[in-house]
Amino acid sequence: MPKKPLRIGLIGYSFMGRAHSNAFHQVNHFFPSSYEIVPQAVCGRDEAKVKEFADKWGYHSTETDWKKLIARDDIDIIDVATPNNLHHDQVIAAAKAGKMIWCEKPLARSGKEAEEMVKAVRKAKVPNMVWYNYRRCPAVVLAKNIIDSGKLGRVFHYRANFLQDWTINPELPQGGTGLWRLDVKVAGSGVTGDLLAHCIDTALWLNGGIKDVSAMTETFVKERKHNLTGKTEKVGIDDACLFHCHFNNGSLGLFESTRYARGHKALYTFEINGEHMSLKWDLHDLHRLQIFDHSDESQERGWKSVHVSDGDHPYCGNWWVPGLQLGYEHSFTHAIVEFIKALEAGKGWTPSFADGLATDYVVDAVLASAKTKKWTKVKQVK
């Protein structure tokens, strides 16, 4: 049977453009399906650089204007891997052109922008996905399967951290390539929308909706030179954020993120405590799931560390032999695997833009609560 091509038009070719492009090749090699991913075209403003990227990653053609890329009739999926301020307009244009759409996280800079994007894909009835890649690490999927089996019993607590240390230097400028994450106009927020968004997405997936939040944020370095204007400008992003919350299932949540935790590079951890079982995961050791099962014989009871790399663990049978672990990049390949499965079934792509909107609503509530110093209700997706 000839495979159905899924011709990708990628917008943006930095860090995420590379992570996605790597997955486009891997998915065809390791997860054969009725579809074939075709790296059709890549778009970026710098013609020389975009051509170099296309050569390196096997794209058949290039564009320097994203509107032209979206208008092309040889593209099936528009993949948005640009800074956050561009997601809204690119997604809405792609939906209007009837394309399937993948979009980097966070879906948008605010719930309001994300609502318009959800409306556009619903109206156009186009399949859509947000790249919340950590959902697709095998150990995280194993946690999801255990939680969904009901083995934890009643859930009491969910806690998550995302700690980094790369913005401690006050001389680090804001804005422009690589540093747009420090520019509030482009990013929308700081660690809340960039790092905690990952923790929130996983939490909503594993433990259900969040009802309300109480938060605090801090900006440790108040002014930085802006790369585009050359002037010293006020820093508008949150450098650190702490919040606690009530989940709809009655459990309590505790979340922390910062880019000022000296020594931590990308320490994303979560833990869930249920009546019968607790689970723990850590991005620095991403192939392991820590499990405590209270039903184990009492003298032998304790935390066990499961090396999630066996043939029957999620996705692992498609890769190497048991025991050889997978890493960060594989989570992107698995995101596409899930999208293709949903395409084959004709429904159920996740995380969808509606899921991305749910996370953006939590981010909005966290930032609002930090401002007003009050408990704030989280808007729910309709």
**Residues near ligand SOE, by CB under 6 A:** 164, 194, 266
Pairing of strands 35-43, 61-63: parallel
To the nearest whole angstrom, how small is the minimum distance from the Cβ of residue 238 to ligand SOE?
14
How far, in Å, are 47, 135, 217 from residue 200 at the CA level?
37, 11, 16
Which of 66, 74, 59 has its CA nearest to residue 91? Answer: 66
Q: Which is nearer to ligand SOE, 266 or 368 (CB)?
A: 266
To the nearest whole angstrom, how small is the minimum distance from the Cβ of residue 181 to ligand SOE?
6
My answer on whether omega of the bond before 127 falls inside 30° of 0, hence cis, is no
Q: Which is nearer to ligand SOE, 172 or 266 (CB)?
A: 266
To the nearest whole angstrom, how small is the minimum distance from the Cβ of residue 164 to ligand SOE?
6
Pairing of strands 223-225, 232-234: antiparallel
> 125 in helix, strand or coil?
coil
Pairing of strands 4-11, 277-282: unpaired
To the nearest whole angstrom, how small is the minimum distance from the Cβ of residue 162 to ligand SOE?
8
To the nearest whole angstrom, how small is the minimum distance from the Cβ of residue 265 to ligand SOE?
9
To the nearest whole angstrom, how small is the minimum distance from the Cβ of residue 194 to ligand SOE?
5
Q: Which is nearer to ligand SOE, 194 or 238 (CB)?
A: 194
Backbone angles phi, psi at 72, to 5 degrees: -70, 140
Cβ 101 vs Cβ 107: under 8 Å = no
Residues 6+ away with beta carbon under 8 Å from 202: 132, 134, 135, 140, 160, 270
Q: Which is nearer to ligand SOE, 126 or 362 (CB)?
A: 362
Cβ 43 vs Cβ 146: under 8 Å = no
Q: Which is nearer to ligand SOE, 194 or 256 (CB)?
A: 194
Please give the structure tokens belonging to residue 267: 């320490």
Distance CA 72, CA 76 (A): 9
To the nearest whole angstrom, how small is the minimum distance from the Cβ of residue 200 to ligand SOE?
12
Q: Which is nearer to ligand SOE, 128 or 164 (CB)?
A: 164
How far, in Å, are 60, 85, 161, 255, 272 from residue 198 at the CA level?
32, 18, 10, 11, 16
Cβ 104 vs Cβ 131: under 8 Å = yes
To the nearest whole angstrom, how small is the minimum distance from the Cβ of residue 266 to ligand SOE?
5
* Residue with nearest beta carbon to ligand SOE: 194
Q: Which is nearer to ligand SOE, 112 or 265 (CB)?
A: 265
DSSP string for 286-350: TTEEEEEETTS-GGG---EEEE--STTSTTGGGSSSTT----HHHHHHHHHHHHHHHHHHTS--S
Cβ 334 vs Cβ 136: under 8 Å = yes
To the nearest whole angstrom, how small is the minimum distance from the Cβ of residue 282 to ligand SOE?
14
Q: Which is nearer to ligand SOE, 283 or 291 (CB)?
A: 283
Q: Which is nearer to ligand SOE, 315 or 332 (CB)?
A: 332
To the nearest whole angstrom, how small is the minimum distance from the Cβ of residue 264 to ligand SOE?
11
